[in-house]
């Protein structure tokens, strides 16, 4: 009987892990496709990303429902309970990543045809590649549950931040050069900020995995805010 209960519980944990992995795969894809749509002015691809967001929303709700039913039915303790609470948190972060990808996709039409310079488009692409790598690695760590690896990903958000800051600066310069660039560059600023936030969510997930593996939060503050907030203050 006990063995049977354990097996059923393991199945439920496996279900949660599988759904999280699926959500992670879709989140990565949405981020990649939204940036591709932006760079290539591909309205059809943007539309696909926007529709895919519904799948993410549904998946988050289903993970949430399953998590709560599992806690109520199995009454898990310690590591098992952390596993389920962690799944809830990760699903929520991934759903937000999907939202950010969708928001970027929505900006494709606004930027389309405004002649975004190649250099700025490359900057956005580069930023998104970093964010996607971080997301991919964190999802791999979710499978292996290495607390050490989770901690190292969490400590690496600064690279994204540095690129975001230089892109922010470039976009402002470009806006100042010609007022006709203002609308499209504003959208690109929000796109860049969205991608920077995707990196933040990857970092949140890394922290959650660390917590799932160890039962405690990783030590030391991490910079959760970008450095552009003060940009211009001393100029």
Binding site for its own copies (CB under 8 A): 61, 68, 71-72, 75-78, 81-82, 85, 88-89, 92, 99, 102-103, 106-107, 109-110, 112, 172, 175-176, 179, 182-184, 186-187, 189-190, 193, 217, 224-225, 229-233, 235
Closer residue to its own copies (CB): 103 or 128 = 103
Q: How far is the CB of 48 from its own copies (least distance, A)?
A: 16
Q: How far is the CB of 233 from its own copies (least distance, A)?
A: 4
Residue 73 dihedral angles phi and psi, to the nearest 5°: -80, -40
Closer residue to its own copies (CB): 119 or 224 = 224
Closer residue to its own copies (CB): 28 or 196 = 196
The burial of 150, by beta-carbon neighbours within 10 Å (0-12 exposed, 13-18 middle, 19 or more buried), is given as: buried
State the residue for tokens 């949405």. Answer: 30
Q: Nearest to residue 125, comparing CAs of 96, 162, 167?
A: 167
Q: How far is the CB of 59 from its own copies (least distance, A)?
A: 14
Closer residue to its own copies (CB): 89 or 145 = 89
CA-to-CA separations, 106 to 4, 37, 45, 136, in angstroms, rounded: 48, 10, 11, 24
**203 Cβ contact list (under 8 Å, min separation 6):** 134, 153, 154, 157, 222, 224
Closer residue to its own copies (CB): 56 or 150 = 56
CA angle 102, 104, 106 (to 5 degrees): 70
Q: How far is the CB of 160 from its own copies (least distance, A)?
A: 16
């Amino acid at each position: 009987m006990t063995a049977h209960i354990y097996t059923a519980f393991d199945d439920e944990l496996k279900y949660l892990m599988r759904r999280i992995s699926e959500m992670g795969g879709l989140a990565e894809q949405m981020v990649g496709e939204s940036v591709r749509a932006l760079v290539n002015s591909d309205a059809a691809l943007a539309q696909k990303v926007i529709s895919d967001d519904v799948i993410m929303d549904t998946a988050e709700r289903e993970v949430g429902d399953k998590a709560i039913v599992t806690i109520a039915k199995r009454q898990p303790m310690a590591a098992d309970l952390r596993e389920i609470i962690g799944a809830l948190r990760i699903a929520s972060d991934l759903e937000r990543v999907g939202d950010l990808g969708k928001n970027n996709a929505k900006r494709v039409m606004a930027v389309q045809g405004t002649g975004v310079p190649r250099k700025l488009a490359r900057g956005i692409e580069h930023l998104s590649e970093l964010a996607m790598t971080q997301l991919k690695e964190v999802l791999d760590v979710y499978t292996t549950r290495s607390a050490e690896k989770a901690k190292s990903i969490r400590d690496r958000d600064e690279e994204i931040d540095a690129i975001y800051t230089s892109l922010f600066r470039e976009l402002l310069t470009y806006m100042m050069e010609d007022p006709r660039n203002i609308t499209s560059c504003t959208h690109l600023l929000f796109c860049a900020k969205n991608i920077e936030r995707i990196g933040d969510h990857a970092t949140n997930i890394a922290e959650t995995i660390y917590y799932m593996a160890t039962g405690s939060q990783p030590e030391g503050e991490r910079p959760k805010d970008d450095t552009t907030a003060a940009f211009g203050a001393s100029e």
